[in-house]
Structure 1
Amino acid sequence: MTMTASLLVSLTLGLSAAAPDPARADEPWPAAMRSPRSADLRRAPDTTPPPDIFPLLASRCRQWASEPANPWALAHGLVLDGRDFRARGGQPAANVILARYLRRAPPQPNTAPARERLFFDARTPDGTPVEPHPALQIKSLLRAGYPLSHRFDTPGGPVAVQALVDQLKHDFRPALVANPESAWTLDALALALEPGATFRNGEGATVRIDAVMRSALAALEAAQAELSAGMRAGQAQVPKRKQGIYAHPCGGLHYFQAVTGWARHPSVRKAWRKRLDAQLEVLLYRLDSEGRQYEAALATAPFAYRLPLLVQMLKFQGHLLETLGRYRDDTGWRPTKAQRQTVERARAALEHTVRRLEDAGAFEDLPALAARQPQLALDLVGDTCHAARGEALWREAGLSVPAAPAPPR
């Protein structure tokens, strides 16, 4: 868990006194309602366009994430622009990641077939993140639209995306499904494989992707069970205490994307529809449940903690919009009027957070912030890219920036 997430947990413990009356659990928290985006959709539309936060988010993402010496940041540029994203100097970002940071290890004895191991370090020797979450880089390549046949030049020779997927299969163990860090691994496997596929892992066991993804859906349901119960009981909020889905990186939103992304296959959608609908409602409920807690924490936080809290709000709201947009594109979800209003309120909340970050100068001098609080600066880079992607997916009514297709087989 990042420093900002830990900080939020410490500040939100004991916030029940600041929570709204449970009888008004269906009322959105006030901050988001200040934005013109959140006007009652039944009224005549306001002809004054709301402030556009996308150019600011996109420009900062492209600027900050283009640093060749920061492969984790480069991967977040791929989140926004896919294969088109380039590192400073003009090279495709993915080329830089593979050429500079892919590692090779010689074959281990007594393994069949003998094969070198392809991997990324978690961090560089100076502490710069490369792959702090397992399989983050291969998942980023697949989501960016690189086909399995694509070959990258590396100092040790060409490497195909397929070889990276094969390494992922070799390293996979079914017990990993329950690990909160497995989101990127599950997403990569779900992007590279199709229903009915099987493979052998490094222990020689046969792995069935259908069983893996069914287990992942059950794990998601269990992780969101407390939120689901609170939603059904009409609670205004379910406190964050590092429990369930809150034990996952980024609030479990990457895990949600990985699991529900498997439903891009019609057969999976048909089998999972009711369970997917139930998990979507929990996700929508989180907007207000968490929004109230962030605002309550921000209202009482010492000045030095305001910026970390605002960055954590950017993380949640941006990832939420990205997750909802990807869910729509992966599953064919068509929001009801009430669901669309929730999406618009999420956009309003993100807009409000971005304006507050802008007022605090967060977008003006990243190097100075990195010198003072390096982890916070990294969070700001990654969360800005996810927020830009989330806003891009909902900028036109019901339409998204074209999603990257599943990689050709």
Structure 2
Amino acid sequence: MASVTLSLLAILSAAPVVRPPAEELLRTQCRTWAAEPKNPWALAHGITLDGRAFKARDGRPAAEVIVSDFLRKEGTGPQADLRFDAFAPDGTPVEPHPNLLVKTLLLAGYAPSQSFRASGSPVTLRALVEDLKRDFRREAALSSHGAWTLDALSHALPPGATFTNGAGETLHLDAVMNEALASLEREQAELMAGMKAGLPQVPKRKQGIYAHPCGGLHLFQAVASHARHAAVRKAWGPRLDAQVDVLFYRLSSESRQYDAALTSAPPAYRLPVLVQMVKFYGHFLETLGRYREETGWKPTPTQLQSVTQAGALLDGAVRRLEAAGAFRDMESLKATQHQLYLDLIGDACHAAHGWGYWRNHLGG
């Protein structure tokens, strides 16, 4: 009997450890850490992954917590000023990118009539959109932090719409989005030139698109999402196709640089590199997933191979993070490397969301 037991133990010890798929690790990371009711930015990322079903740890719908607990109202009536602070007094991010929260609610599919309690009275999503329109300024929307405003505006208004902001300016949605496409072209011009010249990579130096949060992929999402309208796709035609090509070139260019950085980085700097890899590969999959779903874009076989490559690169980065104990040590990171802690929440949510668009292609 003892020999049988020892043999069984030997077999069990020799059996390979079955680890959960990368997508499952990302989803668990997002759902666990984005559910903090005192962190509306994190809650918004949970909504990005799970939509209206996502709840805070206290059991309330995440959207309700965001609006009820963090919206500031000044004045009364339809002209009341509605705003979210960029950060809470303790430094917790609330809305570090203007209109990120309204954009999240719109993309989650909440109806304009959806009502939330805030400062003791109801506030509808429609009222939040009206406030966005009043506060809209072209220069801010076309700045490096304007992508979320553009995405929200495009989802709140139909193509051809006009609106008047609080400064009395009449704005045409299509003209604004045309300017956004032109801005994307300017910001990615160096990458476009590198692609046309056949360069293996364009170094990242925080120039152009790299000066934007998340490498400017939210700007691409906002612009490309407006092309869900057939008339916009027809008007933009090859201009948008060219930006899609640049995005695929970025995968090749940036993966080389991450691999080099990971090889040369001292142990203390490997974790930030891995997190940056999850950020880029996850946003890459999410960006193209949204583009395909919203516009009907059909990737070529070569482009699908690149999507598969991005999935494999994301999988590798996630497994290295797991092996390094990053997901296990979140509480410690929260106290010692707070920005890295936040990145591990937001980027996990975006990456899991991106993976979900391509699950049938990537597995998981």
> Aligned pair 1:200/2:164, yes or no?
yes
1:87 aligns with: 56
Contact 1:98 1:152 in 2 (8 A): yes
1:228 aligns with: 192
Give the number of the structure with larger relative contact order, counting CA–CA contacts within 8 Å between residues 6 or more apart: 1
SS in 2 for 1:180: coil
For 1:235 and 1:132, the matched residues in 2 are separated by 35
| Pairing of 1:56-205 with structure 2 (within 5 A) | 56-106=25-75, 115-205=79-169
1:390 aligns with: 354
> Aligned pair 1:272/2:236, yes or no?
yes
Contact 2:42 2:345 in 1 (8 A): yes
**Aligned-pair RMSD on alpha carbons?**
1.7
SS in 1 for 2:242: helix
Q: CA deviation at 1:51?
A: 6.9
* Matching residue's letter, 2:140: L
2:267 to 292, 299, 303: 303
| Structure 2 alignment gaps of length 5 or more | 1-18
4+ residue segments displaced more than 3 Å = none
1:407 aligns with: none
Contact 2:31 2:46 in 1 (8 A): yes
More helix by share: 2
Any idea what the Cα deviations from partners look like across 1:365-408, whole Å, max 9, x if unmatched?
21111111011100110000001001111001399xxxxxxxxx
Q: CA deviation at 1:114?
A: 7.7
Any idea what the Cα deviations from partners look like across 1:340-378, whole Å, max 9, x if unmatched?
000000001000100111110111121111111011100
| Pairing of 1:338-349 with structure 2 (within 5 A) | 338-349=302-313
* Matching residue's letter, 1:221: E
Q: CA deviation at 1:302?
A: 1.2
* Matching residue's letter, 2:361: A
Any idea what the Cα deviations from partners look like across 1:235-267, whole Å, max 9, x if unmatched?
000001111100100000001000110011111
Contact 1:294 1:309 in 2 (8 A): yes
1:317 aligns with: 281
> Aligned pair 1:260/2:247, yes or no?
no
Any idea what the Cα deviations from partners look like across 1:206-255, whole Å, max 9, x if unmatched?
01101000000000011111001100111000001111100100000001
SS in 2 for 1:128: coil
Contact 1:138 1:164 in 2 (8 A): yes
Contact 2:72 2:119 in 1 (8 A): no
1:216 aligns with: 180
Any idea what the Cα deviations from partners look like across 1:77-121, whole Å, max 9, x if unmatched?
0110010101112111000111100001237xxxxx982200000
SS in 1 for 2:109: coil
Any idea what the Cα deviations from partners look like across 1:285-340, whole Å, max 9, x if unmatched?
11110011111111111111110111111111101100010111122111110010
- In terms of Rg, which structure is larger? 2
The TM-score, its normalising length taken from structure 2, stands at 0.92
SS in 2 for 1:238: coil
SS in 2 for 1:181: coil
Q: CA deviation at 1:155?
A: 2.6
- Cα gap change, 1:172/1:386 in structure 2, threshold over 3 Å: closer, same or farther? same
SS in 2 for 1:68: coil
SS in 2 for 1:237: coil
For 1:53 and 1:134, the matched residues in 2 are separated by 31
Contact 1:196 1:208 in 2 (8 A): yes
Contact 2:308 2:361 in 1 (8 A): no
2:215 aligns with: 251
The TM-score, its normalising length taken from structure 1, stands at 0.82
SS in 2 for 1:396: helix
> Aligned pair 1:350/2:314, yes or no?
yes
For 1:173 and 1:135, the matched residues in 2 are separated by 12
> Aligned pair 1:368/2:332, yes or no?
yes
SS in 1 for 2:237: helix
| Structure 1 alignment gaps of length 5 or more | 1-49, 108-112, 400-409
For 2:317 and 2:297, the matched residues in 1 are separated by 27
Contact 1:177 1:215 in 2 (8 A): no
For 1:358 and 1:387, the matched residues in 2 are separated by 15
Q: CA deviation at 1:52?
A: 2.3
Q: CA deviation at 1:176?
A: 2.3
SS in 1 for 2:227: helix
Any idea what the Cα deviations from partners look like across 1:8-37, whole Å, max 9, x if unmatched?
xxxxxxxxxxxxxxxxxxxxxxxxxxxxxx
